[in-house]
Structure 1
Amino acid sequence: MIMEKAEALSRLAALPPVAPGQSYVIDHFRPEDALGVARLYYTVYGDSYPVDTPYIPERLIQAAERNDIFCVLARTPSGDILGAASVYRSSPPNPGCYEIGQTLILPEYRLGRIFFLLYDFTLTNVLTDPRVEATFSEAVCHHLTTQKLCLRLGMLATALELNLMPAKAYAQEGLTGRTSCLVFSRVNRCSHALVHAPQRYAQDLALLYQGLCLDRSPGAPRNPEPDSACSLKVERFPVAGVVRGQLATVGEDLDARLDRLESGSPDVAQVFVNLADPGCPWAVDQLTARGYFLGGLCPAWFGPDGLLLQKLAQPPDFDALQTFTDRGLAVRDMVRADYTRLTRAAGSSR
């Protein structure tokens, strides 16, 4: 029987600290590493990490066996785990589209090269795995370190998630407001797919597709059939104040489904629309009429690509966003321009 989080935390609290100054190797996760990974998460996050799996060794082993996570570690000869980085399944409906993140280093070892070595090992030994069709990473915009590491992995900026993280997530770094993330993407392999680009975002999408080298061709948009139903999977993240909708198939009942998605007045509502669905432009019209605006492109999100739209309870601070590449700045500017059009239209309608 697998232990619950409370029992796991009690066990982790009783473990001795990891000794400083140890040598290490960078390697793939092995089942015997699971307790060391759990201690790493507990040392860095205490009991506040929002997902239980890393704290419970048996669950982490099962996730690795299902290929839900590829974990890269810095391991000492004694078996202590000094740092970890993960490529894992998260929100995308496409099981071959993995998120890159969950990078943790013990405080005593953060001045060394572990961080960069973990990413270099991931590049050469994980991203080449045929099961990893595509990857994305949500790089925070209050510093540039994660963005630079995404470039090190050959990723390109394709979207901007505004106000994604709550203020308390980075309060220890002195931040007082919500944090935005620049989304970086990389596609290793994909099948041909159609793109039904909404006219209002055609130029933006043309720019975002540059450099991705995908096998895509334009489709013929059409409105959904009368009385048709959406395929809309909803995920809620109460701690973050975020709700996400994965709109795989557009249906005429979209407006009613969005009413339910937005219930509870989340701080951030995101909808990922399947660009391969002919009803995508119609769905975008419905979303923008409700106050959604452009987030960007999410390659291979559904297998085919996703178009992110977002709606915020509070205005974003575009001037506070840090990014340093021409492409990152272009993503910021196109999202800002669409948000400005939205707010101007809302003001003129009053």
Structure 2
Amino acid sequence: MADGRFRLVPVGPDNVALVGEVFRAVYGEGYVDPVVYRPESLLKKIAQGQLAGLLALDPAGRPAGYVALGSTAPNHSLWEEKGLIVVPGYSKTDAGTALACHFGDRAVWPAGVDGVFASAVCHHYFSQVICAKAGWVVSAVQLDLFDAAILSDRPEDVDRISCSLFFSPMPPAAVPCYWPAAYFDVMAALAEERNDPPGAISAAQLPVTVTTDLEVIPLPTSDSMKVNVFRVGGDWAAAVERLVAEARRRRALSVQLFIDTACPSIGEAVRVLRARGFFFGGLAPRWFGSDGLLMQQVFANTRYDLIRLYPDTAAKLLAFIRADRLAVGQERG
């Protein structure tokens, strides 16, 4: 496949070592996912159907950039576009646009993938504009997600990088979704942007005889934690206390928690989370097969003035998130 002066080629045994060259040119050895520096590990992920990588090569065969799709969500039919980078010296060419647009084409997705999402950085517009032009919809904003020090193009006064989550069009969830009453309007607006039906208001209490089922994914190189909540149980309050304690022990600056909206008691679960400092982050369509509600807690002073958002719906979402964060703080005193 060719695009102008660049060839776009899948990552395989003959060129996998070039992936590390691309990342070293931009991040040195400091990229948050060390697998990009390990050719054998990359090839293993590709062979196991967990990753699809793409390189942009110039006419001399030198690597100009890289992008990948990877299985990172609990729903293995929803993959993440990740690792889009361009080698310095090619930043003013069309290499980045060609790579970004490639996986916007459903026809090139791996077999079994029916949706794609991307974490678009919020210190510039480029990746957000590319996602929007591909027809993907911004559904969440993750505050202070990782350390800006790993980025070569960061403004000098940016310490933490926030990201917008964009999701491609997908078939509707196959199971009923429940929404907390406190967030019904904002979630309805996000769903409407995607032409998805609204959920039902959650009115159920925590199930006393059920145990919470979740996974914690520490991301130490970015000073953050990701949490996937598959089931909310009667022990939910204690589980949240342990999560907050774990975040503080790890000195995480950002905790991103996804709850399955198939849980009928999600409204009560959110009440407990808010009491422990969590606030709204957005909607994660088909995160679990059913949708995910993103709640987040940030142990940092967010520089909102340095966040750049596209399109206008993303700015409106951030305004709601800021207001909810303030309200949570006031409710906790």
TM-score under structure 1 length normalisation: 0.85
Q: Which runs of 5+ in 2 are unaligned?
A: none
1:125 to partner: Cα distance: 5.7
Hey, what's the Cα distance between the residues in 2 that align with 1:129 and 1:227?
Answer: 40
| Equivalent residue runs for 1:204-219 within 5 Å | 204-214=186-196, 218=200
Matched position secondary structure for 2:263: coil
The aligned counterpart of 1:10 is: none
Deviation at 1:23, TM superposition (A): 4.4
Displacement over 6 Å in runs of 4+: none
Correspondences of 1:3-22 after superposition (within 5 Å): none
Q: Aligned pair 1:97/2:78, yes or no?
A: yes
Percent identical across equivalent pairs?
25
TM-superposed CA distance for 1:127, in Å, is 5.7
Q: Partner letter of residue 64 of structure 1? A: I
Q: Structure 1, unaligned stretches of length 5 or more?
A: 1-21
Within-5 A mapping of 1:41-120 = 41-76=23-58, 79-90=61-72, 92-120=73-101
Matched residues in 2 for 1:311 and 1:220: separation?
22
CA distance 1:269–1:80, shift in 2 (3 Å): same
- SS of residue matched to 1:246: strand
Residues 51, 317 of structure 1: CA spacing in aligned structure 2 closer, same or farther, 3 A cutoff?
Answer: closer
Question: Which structure's CA Rg is the greater one?
Answer: 1
1:307-330 deviations in Å (ceiling 9; x for gaps):
011112123233332114221111
Map 1:78-227 → 2, pairs under 5 A: 79-90=61-72, 92-124=73-105, 128-170=109-151, 173=154, 174-214=156-196, 218=200, 221-227=203-209
Q: What amino acid is the match of 2:171?
A: R
Number of residue equivalences: 325
Using a 3 Å threshold, how does the CA distance of structure 1 residues 73 and 190 change in structure 2: closer, same or farther? farther
- Say which is worse superposed, 24-33 or 284-293, in terms of deviation: 24-33
Read off the aligned partner of 1:269 and give its amino acid letter: V
Check the 8 A contact 2:191/2:198 in 1, yes or no: no
Distance in 2, Cα, partners of 1:220 & 1:127: 38
In structure 1, give the amino acid aligned to 2:322.
R
| 1:236 aligned residue | 218
RMSD: 2.2
- 1:83–1:114 CA contact under 8 A, matched in 2: yes
- Cα deviation 1:10-53 (Å, max 9, x = unaligned): xxxxxxxxxxxx94312333331211222222232222123232
Aligned to 2:321: 335
Equivalent residue of 1:85, what SS? strand
After TM superposition, the structure 1 stretch with the greater mean CA deviation from structure 2, 319-328 or 275-284, is 319-328
Indicate how the Cα distance of structure 1 residues 324 and 245 shifts in structure 2: closer, same or farther if over 3 A, else same. closer
